[in-house]
Structure formats: structure tokens, C-alpha cells
Amino acid sequence: MSYTISKRLFDLACAGFGLLVLLPLGVLLALLVKLSDGGPVFYTQIRVGQSGRPFPIRKFRSMILNADKLGLPVTKEGDPRITWIGRLLRKSKLDELPQLWNVFIGQMSFVGPRPEVSRYVESYTAEQREILRYKPGITDMATLQFRNEEALLRGSTDVEAFYVQYCLPKKIALNRQYLERASLLQDLWIIIQTLCPYWLGVVTVYGATLVASLWVACLLRFDFQIPPEIGRHFWQFLPAMVMPQVFLLVWRGQVRGLMSYFSIPEIRQIAVALGAALLLQLGLGFFSRGRLAPSSSIIVIHFMVSFLSLCAVRMGFRFMRERAGRSRGGEQIAVCRVGIVGTGALATNLALDLSRGDESGRKVVAFFDDDPHSWHKRPHDILVAGMPECILNREWQEELDEVIVALPESASARAREIGALLRGSRLKVSFVSSRPVLQRQSV
């Protein structure tokens, strides 16, 4: 069976099932939208579909009445046109739920290039218009990487121009990459990533690691011969042992970079979170007289095993990312508030060096990178704010004093492009390379 036929059968079956199962949720959301301001439940907009044919796309209305007449089709964070219920719907992507009907009748697919309004399609080059050969979708690779698009547009003085010039080409490029190797398996993976936010995956990995650590702690305590009564009580003790640890890890900001970065600051945060959980568990075991928590010896061993296990998991993911990413070295240059272009070893080592040498008042404020997979992660607890073009936004023009372009020599053309892009701004632009002698220029 061809990919096209299997994809359509998958869309038809899942859309029909989703329309039936999610009907109660849809009714509830429709009621909340209606009660929010008394306006219509749905917002209908004409988008450009397969072969350039226009079709109506429907969403739960997330903006005030006549919002399309009061502003642009694209929105940035803090847009006053978005209603209170609309912010929740957009954050959870539940405003897209009515598009199951578009999928069911064949106008859309679950996975495919997101359809744009005609005013933006008119700006496509002949090469970019190739994506119109394919059926548009509810989600795609661009949806995942631009999940926080409103935050990327924040601070831009001309939101539409920034979107058309910088965001739209990257979305099209991501869609073309997807279409080159599209398969039903890849579609399923994109759907899973869309439904399950990044933090949920991190919490799941942490939870599984901590449960396994508790079992190992019991094995160590009883010389790998766990008494039957301890085995029976294992699941009884599990919530009190794991839930405080997960909660405190979230509190210490350890759900933001599992796949990416791990160094001394993260080790310290894990130790603080697990140490606080240790005190809570010891107190719970004492006051409940062993009914809700195991013995103190198991709690202490669990703390040590959990710490080592989480560090090993985080370090393993860091090695996986570094092995898959581009190899880069590191130097340092900074003046006052610094933005670094790049998130490889060169850029992150540079940021770490600057954080250690703070006697000069130098501070890295944000990273910027072309790779959408790195956006909104926090290497060394420093935000990857988005693509380098975001530096042009008024917000970053005011919050930065210097930009350091820390790209490898293989990306020298892109480095020159960024330098030209920032020429004429108030920012000082410097370049570093992995050579022993620091290469520095200003534009």
C-alpha cells in the first residue's frame, strides 16, 4: 500500500474517532468561548490548500470580535486581541480541534505543511510553492519548532515584516525537509511530539529513573534479597518517595534541558532538589512511623542512587546531543550584556567561561541559533531566544550591548550574513573561532 493511501486511511480513521471521542470536550470548550464574551464560538479563515485551492479553516475563537480587522493575521506575545480563554486554548493547541473536520472531509491531513493565508502565499518563490503540491496539515515540523512563535515575535516593531522575512522561509524549509523523507512512522512521531509537550517527556524520564533508583536502593539495603514485606510495601512507599523528588526537580528548573545541556550548575540544582526531598521523606517516615515511607536507611540510599542516576541520565543525553551536533571549540569575548549566536560547544563553552569570569561585569543574556530544535532550551540556564534575526527586534536591541557570533568555520558564510544583518545597529558585533588566537572583528 502506498504512503498516500495509507496516510489517507489513517487520517480518515483517526479524525472520525477523534470527532466522536472529543465531542464532549469540544462542547465544553465551545461553551467557555461563548461565555467569555458572548461572541461566536468558531473563527473561520480562508487558507490556501493543496494545489493552491482556497478552503475554509475553522478554529475555536481565541480573539475578540473583529480581531482580523483590528490587526494582522500573525500575533505576538501579549497581543491585546487575545481573550483570556483564547490564551489557554492557544497554549494547549486546543483551538485547532475543529480542524479534525477538515481532515475528515479530505481538505487537510494530520501532518503536512500548515496552510497560510493568501497574502503570504503570494510572496512564495517558485521553489517555495512546491509545498503547495501536498495536502496541508494540522501539525508539521514547523509547528513543533515554532511552538512558541508568539514569544519569537515579541518585541518586533513590524511583526508582519519580521514574520514574512525570517519566520516564513524557515517554516517552508522545515516542511521541505519533512516532505523529502515523509513516512507514516515519521507522521506518528510528529503527532506524538505535538500532543506531548517537551516537559512531559522530561518528567516521564525523571519519574522512571527515580522509580528504578528506589528499587535499586532496596536491593542494596538488603544485599539483593528484598524481604517479602518490603516488596509488598514498595508500591505503597512509591508516591511519597518519587513525587516530592519530581516536584522539587521541576521547582529547580530541571525540566528545561534534558536533551541538551548538563554541567556544574545543573548538578548543583539536582543536589538541592533531591536534598530537600530527602528531608521531607525523612520527616514523613518519622511522623507516619513507617506507614508512608520506608526506613531511614532506604531513604538515604535512595537519595544517593537517585542523584547518581539522574546525573548519568543527563550526561548521557548531553553526549547524545553533542555527538549528533556540530563540533565547535570555544573562546571568549564579551562586553556588558552579551548575546551569543550559536549553541554548539564553541558557544556554550564561551558562555560558561564568561559566567566564571564575572569580575569584568560581563553577562551572557541569551543565545540565538538557526536550529529550531535548540529554541527555548536553556544551556547553562541561559535562554535560547530564537533565530539570530530575533536580535533585530526592539526588545533585544535594548537588552544587549554586544553580539558574539560563535559559529564554526564551516558556517563562515552564515556568520558574514549575520554581521551584515546587524550592521548599522547600536550593537557591537564580534566574531570568535576555535583557533588558538581569538579572532575578533566589529561591524
Render pLDDT for 306-321 as a digit per residue (tens, 0 to 9).
999 999 988 888 777 6
Which among 394, 333, 392, 318 has a CA at the least distance from the CA of 364? Answer: 333
Q: Measured between alpha carbons, how far is 88 from 94 in angstroms, rounded to an integer?
A: 8
Domain-terminating residue out of 175, 195, 215: 195
Asked if residue 206 and residue 166 are part of one domain, the reply reads: no
Asked if residue 168 and residue 56 are part of one domain, the reply reads: yes
What is the structure's pLDDT at 332?
A: 41
What is the structure's pLDDT at 356?
A: 67
- Considering 74-83, 88-97, 189-198, 352-361, the range whose residues carry the highest mean pLDDT is 88-97
Residue 268 is classified by DSSP as H
Render pLDDT for 21-59 as a digit per residue (tens, 0 to 9).
999 999 999 999 998 888 899 999 999 999 999 999 999
What is the structure's pLDDT at 11?
A: 94
Let me know if residue 438 belongs to a domain: no
Asked if residue 60 and residue 184 are part of one domain, the reply reads: yes
Domain-terminating residue out of 195, 216, 250: 195
Asked if residue 285 and residue 170 are part of one domain, the reply reads: no
DSSP 315-367: HHHHHHHHHHS----------SEEEEE--SHHHHHHHHHHHH-GGG--EEEEE
What is the structure's pLDDT at 434?
A: 55
**Does 172 score more than 60 pLDDT?**
yes
Rg value, the chain, Cα: 25
Q: Measured between alpha carbons, how far is 187 from 179 in angstroms, rounded to an integer?
A: 11
Let me know if residue 180 belongs to a domain: yes
User: pLDDT higher for 385 or 336?
Assistant: 385
Only one residue has cell 515540523, namely 141
Q: Are strands 384-386 and 363-368 parallel, antiparallel or unpaired?
A: parallel
Cα–chain center distance at 105: 31
Residues 124 and 55: beta-carbon distance below 8 Å: no
What is the structure's pLDDT at 443?
A: 45
Confidence tier at 285 by pLDDT (50, 70, 90): confident
What is the structure's pLDDT at 10?
A: 94
Asked if residue 346 and residue 313 are part of one domain, the reply reads: no
Asked if residue 52 and residue 188 are part of one domain, the reply reads: yes
Let me know if residue 271 belongs to a domain: yes
What is the structure's pLDDT at 310?
A: 92
The b/e string for 292-315 (b: 16+ C-beta within 10 A; e otherwise) is: ebbeeebbebbbebbbebbeebbe
Which among 442, 443, 439, 441 has a CA at the least distance from the CA of 332? Answer: 439
What is the structure's pLDDT at 323?
A: 66
Q: Measured between alpha carbons, how far is 230 from 403 in angstroms, rounded to an integer?
A: 58
**Owning domain of residue 208:** 198-323
What is the structure's pLDDT at 441?
A: 43
Residue 260 is classified by DSSP as T
Let me know if residue 440 belongs to a domain: no
Asked if residue 177 and residue 152 are part of one domain, the reply reads: yes
**Does 18 score more than 80 pLDDT?**
yes
Task: CATH number of the domain at 365, please.
Answer: 3.40.50.720
**Does 19 score more than 90 pLDDT?**
yes
Beta-bridge partners for 402: 338, 428
Residue 243 is classified by DSSP as H
Asked if residue 181 and residue 207 are part of one domain, the reply reads: no
What is the structure's pLDDT at 352?
A: 81
Q: Measured between alpha carbons, how far is 375 from 384 in angstroms, rounded to an integer?
A: 5
What is the structure's pLDDT at 327?
A: 42
Q: Report how many domains make up the chain.
A: 3
Domain-terminating residue out of 323, 353, 380: 323
Asked if residue 426 and residue 300 are part of one domain, the reply reads: no
Residues 197 and 232: beta-carbon distance below 8 Å: no
What's the chain's average pLDDT?
84
Tell me the percentage of the chain whose pLDDT exceeds 70: 89
CB-based contacts of 363, cutoff 8 Å, min separation 6: 334, 336, 337, 338, 354
Let me know if residue 65 belongs to a domain: yes
Least confident piece of the model among 207-221, 246-260, 273-287, 379-393: 246-260
Render pLDDT for 404-429 as a digit per residue (tens, 0 to 9).
999 987 888 898 889 888 887 788 88
Q: Measured between alpha carbons, how far is 420 from 154 in angstroms, rounded to an integer?
A: 23
Cell of 376: 527555548
**Does 331 score more than 80 pLDDT?**
no
Asked if residue 290 and residue 390 are part of one domain, the reply reads: no
Asked if residue 68 and residue 182 are part of one domain, the reply reads: yes
Render pLDDT for 335-381 as a digit per residue (tens, 0 to 9).
478 999 999 888 888 888 777 655 456 789 999 999 988 888 888 88
CB-based contacts of 52, cutoff 8 Å, min separation 6: 121, 129, 132
Asked if residue 222 and residue 176 are part of one domain, the reply reads: no
